[in-house]
Every structure is written in C-alpha cells, then in structure tokens.
Amino acid sequence: MPTETSLPFRAAAIALTMLAVGNVAACTDGSNPTKELANSLGLGPKITESPDFVARSRPKSLDYMPIGVAAAERPTKARTAEEIKAAEAEMDALRAQNEAAGAAAARLGGTPEPAPVIKKPAPPKTP
C-alpha cells in the first residue's frame, strides 16, 4: 500500500529521469532539446555575428580531409640545400651587422657626461 510520502519521491524520480533523457538527447546529432530549451528561456549563450575579417579568413566548409586522400601540393617548392645555405649566410651577415650596431651603441652609451657650459658662481664669503 503506497503512502503519501512516496508520491513526491516518485515525482522527483520521474523528473530526474526526464532530465537524464534530455541530457542524453543533447549528445546526439541533429536537434538538441536541452540547448533549445535553454536558449528559449534566455539561459543559453548569446550568439553574435562574427566580425568581417574573421568571416573572410575562415573557410566556407570545415570538413576534414578523408582518409587515404593525398594533401594538395604546396604552392611553393621546398628550398634546395644551396638556397638554405645562402639564407643562413644572409642571416649570419645580418646578425653580425646587428651585433656591430649594438656594440657601437654600447660605446656611445658609456661616454662620460659632458661638462656644464656655464659655471656656477661661488657662494658669497661670510665676514
């Protein structure tokens, strides 16, 4: 024989079951009733338009490349060993030039302060 106290527990159990079903349904593809309910109540995230520069920089389709399909060729070819050595030599020359400029700046920064142009008058002598 059911008692009066079991009715609130049964209602709570049904409510928790419905909540669990709604959350499981939210994990499926397609519609999301939990998210739709939250958005309709104003509790969901506020959806704003992307700025123009963001919309232009993103691809129209974010599909992943299927397995077994080769990636598209690079628009630029890989550098040869000679081109890499030439680039390294250019960077070494720039580093040497920057180090020389830094050393010159350090020398200029280490000069003593110039003497004042006008000398201060001597304080008056007391009698």
pLDDT average, residue stretch 1-14: 72
Tokens standing for 102?
A: 């830094």
Residue 46 dihedral angles phi and psi, to the nearest 5°:
-80, 120
> How many C-beta atoms lie closer than 10 Å to residue 29's C-beta?
5
Is the pLDDT at 113 greater than 60, yes or no?
A: yes
Q: How many residues are given for the chain?
A: 127
| pLDDT of amino acid 47 | 78
Q: How far apart are CA 94 and CA 99, in angstroms?
A: 9
The residue assigned the tokens 């250019």 is 90
Report how far residue 114's alpha carbon sits from residue 116's, in angstroms, rounded to the nearest whole number: 6
pLDDT for res 16: 86
Question: pLDDT at residue 68 above 60?
Answer: yes
Question: Which stretch, 16-30, 54-68, 94-108, has highest mean pLDDT?
Answer: 94-108
- How far is 72 from 9, CA to CA, in rounded Å? 61
- Read off the pLDDT band of 123 (50, 70, 90): confident
DSSP helix, strand, coil percent of the chain (3-state; round to 5):
50, 0, 50
What's the average model confidence in pLDDT over 19-43?
Answer: 74
